[in-house]
Structure 1
Amino acid sequence: MKAFLALLIKAFLGLIAFSLLWVGVYRFLDPPTTYLMIRDRLNGVEVKQQWVGLDEMSRHIPRAVIAAEDSRFCEHRGFDVEAIEKAMEANEKGRKLRGGSTISQQTAKNAFLWPGRTMVRKGVEAWFTILIEFLWGKPRIMEVYLNIAEFGRGVFGVEAASRHYFDKPASKLSRQEAARLAAILPQPIQRDAASPGRYTRRYADRIASRTRVVANDGLDGCIWK
């Protein structure tokens, strides 16, 4: 029994060491692929992705995803406690559970894990979220997120998305175009940034308005060096 427990402890410590090394490497090395990219390739889908740094993107795009996905991105340390509390309150009142996933959590999931809602996977996601917040910092988290997020079937990252939908580099995106890209993130397969439906168009308009607030109130200040 003692030998078995010792083996479990060693395995646990080994996994911790491996995760620390993995996250540390990605602090400097751009992730070469993700679960979703591998999925698409295995299904015969051509994967389009081109890595670009934050300074090579229009500032409208990180502001748009902050406005749409995580307005407190620069304030929290990976988890938006306020959003989680609101989600719990909504659930207790019998309403649909609201999402409280931050950009940091989504980055951890996209870079290291797979989609899923099991408690084990969510627990591992939380661990990787803590690691990237500690080892990467906000600029790197945003850069990785915007380069590996899915924007359509086989379309990953803002550079590929910008060229796919608008035939221009991410550096040339307008506020409205950036808002449309942010608007399709929740359902990248069903929504189209170039020819959005009524709901997506209205949602993008709201995001574009919030983007001005992000800029004026400095809600993106943590990502600019």
Structure 2
Amino acid sequence: MAIKRTNQVKKKKVQTGWQKKVKTWSIRIVGGFFAITLFWVLALKLINPPITWLMIQRGFELQAADKGFKLEKDWLNYDELSDNLKRAAIAGEDAHFMTHWGFDTDAIQKAIEKNKDGKKLRGGSTISQQVAKNVFLWPKRSWLRKGLETYFTVLIETFWSKRRILEVYLNVIEMGQGVYGAEAASQYYFKKSGSTLSKKQAALIIAILPNPRQWDARNPSAYVNRRANSIVRYMDHYQIPE
């Protein structure tokens, strides 16, 4: 009996030691993840993102299609960006940008209702969510990516200003085949700087964002033109970050 009891005690100690190691490493991994991601977010509050996963992926997709690796982008600071484009982005992409905390619950609910019929999925993503996805994550949809998108959205809404979120959005978002950000898009479509866009030009660029690789701001379809006209009608009603 004494030998059996001794073996049980030893076995318990082994199990306890193993459990402690798992707990210790779990805490280290989770703590390391939070530390790295927080540092990453804080760094990009001050440093402009040089490239994104989507830019690299799209470049290789074009190369695979024998169109050559293409990546056109040129950063414009917030004050250099056209106010018309800022208002158009809010009017066309995220009407509650200035008041929500990263998630537009009304838009999400509407997206859920529209997706119940099993047809093509419609998103309810805010500008903040799109920045989180484009800057920190990969393009392919999955529950893991959606969870991380939510996490990074909370971080940038907490540590960045609305001004910084909109600035990054308008500089990294895909706006055409191999074209990223306001300056590259303005030069590509209208041969002018992203700081001098007219209301209609700004609205046309924002109007193609649901499908920027297929739609063209220079030669808009009837649908894109109607969408742009609607953005123009409402853009003056929206406040932009100062």
TM superposition score normalised by structure 1:
0.91
Partner of 1:66: 90
Q: 2:112 aligns with which of 74, 88, 96?
A: 88
Q: Which amino acid aligns with 2:38?
A: L
Q: 2:165 aligns with which of 120, 141, 146?
A: 141
**1:90-129 CA distances to partner (integer Å, 9 max, x unpaired)?**
445x375542100000001011111132111100001100
Partner of 1:197: 221
Please tell me whether the aligned partners of residues 113 and 125 of structure 1 are also in contact (alpha carbons under 8 angstroms).
yes
Q: Distance in 2 between matches of 1:137 and 1:199?
A: 34
Q: Distance in 1 between matches of 2:231 and 2:221?
A: 15
Partner of 2:195: 171
Q: Distance in 2 between matches of 1:58 and 1:138?
A: 16
1:18 equivalent to 2:36? Answer: yes
Please tell me whether the aligned partners of residues 86 and 98 of structure 1 are also in contact (alpha carbons under 8 angstroms).
no
1:206 equivalent to 2:230? Answer: yes
Partner of 1:117: 141
Partner of 1:5: 23
Report the alpha carbon displacement of residue 207 of structure 1 after superposing the two structures with TM. Answer: 1.1
Partner of 1:102: 126
1:130 equivalent to 2:154? Answer: yes
Q: Which amino acid aligns with 1:201?
A: N
Q: 1:53 aligns with which of 62, 77, 80?
A: 77
Partner of 2:6: none
- Structure number, greater radius of gyration: 2
Partner of 2:56: 38
SS at match of 2:139: coil
Q: Which amino acid aligns with 1:39?
A: Q
Deviates more, 1:35-44 or 1:6-15: 35-44
1:161 equivalent to 2:185? Answer: yes
Q: Which amino acid aligns with 1:99?
A: G
SS at match of 1:173: coil
Length, aligned pairs only? 217
Report the alpha carbon displacement of residue 31 of structure 1 after superposing the two structures with TM. Answer: 0.3
TM superposition score normalised by structure 2:
0.85
Partner of 1:75: 99
SS at match of 1:27: helix
Q: Distance in 2 between matches of 1:29 and 1:47?
A: 20
- State the Cα RMSD in Å: 1.5
Q: Distance in 2 between matches of 1:148 and 1:90?
A: 28
Q: Which amino acid aligns with 2:44?
A: Y
Higher RCO (CA < 8 A, seq sep 6+): 1
Q: Distance in 2 between matches of 1:194 and 1:19?
A: 39
Report the alpha carbon displacement of residue 8 of structure 1 after superposing the two structures with TM. Answer: 2.2
Q: Distance in 2 between matches of 1:41 and 1:158?
A: 18
Structure 2 segments unaligned to the other structure (5+ residues): 1-17
Q: Distance in 1 between matches of 2:143 and 2:107?
A: 19
Q: Distance in 2 between matches of 1:178 and 1:77?
A: 25
SS at match of 2:46: coil
Q: Distance in 1 between matches of 2:231 and 2:112?
A: 25
